[in-house]
Amino acid sequence: MAGKPAAAQGYGILLVTANVGSLFEDPENLQKTWLREFYQTVQSHKPHFLALHCQEVGGKNYEASMSHVGSFVKELLSSDALMEYNRARVYLDEDYKSKEHFTALGSFYFIHETLKNIQQFDFNAKIFEKVVGRETCSETLESRSSLEKAKFPKDYYPQCKWSRKGFIRTRWALADWTFDLVNIHLFHDASNLVAWENSPSVYSTTRQKALGFVLDRITDQRYEKVPYFIFGDFNFRLDSKQFIESVCSTATMQTVTTGKTNEVDKLIFREIDNDKKVVLQLEKKLFNYVNQDVFRENNGTSLLEFDKELTPFKDRLIELEISFPPSYPYSEDSTQGKEYMNTRCPAWCDRILMSPSARDQFFKPENEEKSVTYDNIGANVCMGDHKPVFLSFRIAAGAGKPNANKHKCCVVQ
């Protein structure tokens, strides 16, 4: 790793979220590219503390591909790029046979050798403990006192069908600053046809309920309330009904139904003029829009007016300004790094959110123009169907409040 993190201007923090499901379908080629881009981001920002939150660990066909997870973790832990991070904690939820617990989440934390005063919270003993060495935990995470893990209640799930959705929470103390890091995976849109029926969609309403569940859990009375970062695959989508009505405002809609049940099978939007050219074809798992460039031009930011799922949480969650294109669903073709698949409407699914109190701790030096960066990773290459998203920032050396006596912290020498 070129250069050392500079502590004089605060502590560097790098948070990364990545849905890695695609990596385990073609582990040889895709993982190599993915890791190269990830390492370049780490080397560019030189954080003291690095947190990587992964979703869909083991891939979509996890029964067949979970065996590839070990080599991915081994590569991370043995890489030259992370060699100077002499302490690490890796939490992998790999037990797919436990349907009531399995979330396929993976949380990776790396601590640079120059960072001396870092501790992790024990949720059972309610004390902070010194972080020593590198540890990987992949079995019975429910019993680990260094984290809190939960799957969403079954009645939250669409059609009450179990899927890999939930969260993992850890708590850290860096110098005088205590904060929570939450890895989250919310529900997806199962059908484009259902998503467009109402505004907001039924899926959006379910995600809102689940995110509220997580926020209530991490701010309840069991533990002291501290600043928090929630980052993962929120599966936030554009308001489908409003977006389609906007881009197809001058088109006519043709409804195609199935012969047996008379259910809607597809919707076809055609221009009134121009030889009735098809503007959009919508099916359960098809979103074929005529102009993909709208999602890339100016990073797609003209579409942020349809990105509304954070609105109900505006008093509890902050997000920095988005200046990168929708993070999903990218083509999984290694030669099509900037192309979207025609399966879903592109959206900013992968996000890094924080409490107002977390945002207040950011260190903004007067002589440094861009001390905070919120962006994606691998913009021009194939990273799988999701582009990882990262947030790089610094906290002041004296950020937060003294907590050693309050928590009986182990003081790191």
Domain boundaries, the chain: 11-237+297-407
Rg (CA), the chain: 22
- What is the arrangement of strands in the sheet containing 286-289, beginning at the earlier edge strand? 251-257, 264-271, 278-283, 286-289
**Dist. CA 34–CA 20, nearest whole Å:** 9
Neighbours of 369 (CB within 10 A): 5
Would you state the structure tokens that stand for residue 315, as one six-digit string?
Answer: 């008093």
Instruction: Give the per-residue pLDDT at 7.
Output: 56
User: Which residues, in sequence order, are bridge partners of residue 181?
Assistant: 170, 229
DSSP codes, 27-53: HHHHHHHHHHHHHHHHHHH--SEEEEE
**11-237+297-407: which CATH architecture?**
4-Layer Sandwich (3.60)
Q: At what angle do helices 69-78 and 27-45 cross, to 10 degrees?
A: 30
Please, is 311 exposed, middle or buried when counting C-beta atoms within 10 Å of its C-beta (0-12, 13-18, 19+)?
Answer: exposed
Cβ atoms of residues 282 and 196 within 8 Å: yes
Would you state the structure tokens that stand for residue 61, as one six-digit string?
Answer: 């066909």
| C-alpha dist (Å) from residue 314 to 311, 319, 341 | 5, 9, 31
Instruction: Give the per-residue pLDDT at 160.
Output: 57
The pTM of the full predicted model, rounded to 2 decimals, is 0.94
Cβ atoms of residues 296 and 338 within 8 Å: yes
The pLDDT tens digits along the chain (413 residues) read 456 776 557 899 999 999 999 998 766 789 999 999 999 999 999 999 999 999 999 988 877 788 889 999 999 999 999 999 999 999 999 888 888 889 999 999 999 999 998 999 999 999 999 999 999 999 889 889 999 999 998 888 766 566 789 999 999 999 889 999 999 999 999 999 999 999 999 999 999 999 999 999 999 999 999 999 999 999 999 999 999 999 999 999 999 998 778 899 999 999 998 889 999 999 999 999 999 999 999 999 999 999 999 999 999 999 999 999 999 999 999 999 999 999 999 999 999 999 999 999 998 766 555 689 999 999 999 999 999 999 999 998 777 654 433 443 333 33
Instruction: Give the per-residue pLDDT at 412.
Output: 33
Cβ atoms of residues 26 and 372 within 8 Å: no
Instruction: Give the per-residue pLDDT at 8.
Output: 55
Instruction: Give the per-residue pLDDT at 367.
Output: 56
Instruction: Give the per-residue pLDDT at 227.
Output: 97
The torsion angles phi and psi of 382, rounded to 5 degrees, stand at -75, 120
Would you state the structure tokens that stand for residue 359, as one six-digit string?
Answer: 């945002």
Cβ atoms of residues 45 and 394 within 8 Å: no
| C-alpha dist (Å) from residue 155 to 133, 163, 200 | 40, 12, 20
DSSP codes, 330-389: B---TT-TTPBPTTS--B--EEEEE-HHHHTTB---TT-S---EEEES-TTS--SSS--E
Q: Closest Cα partner for 21 from 51, 61, 52, 53?
A: 61
Cβ atoms of residues 201 and 195 within 8 Å: yes
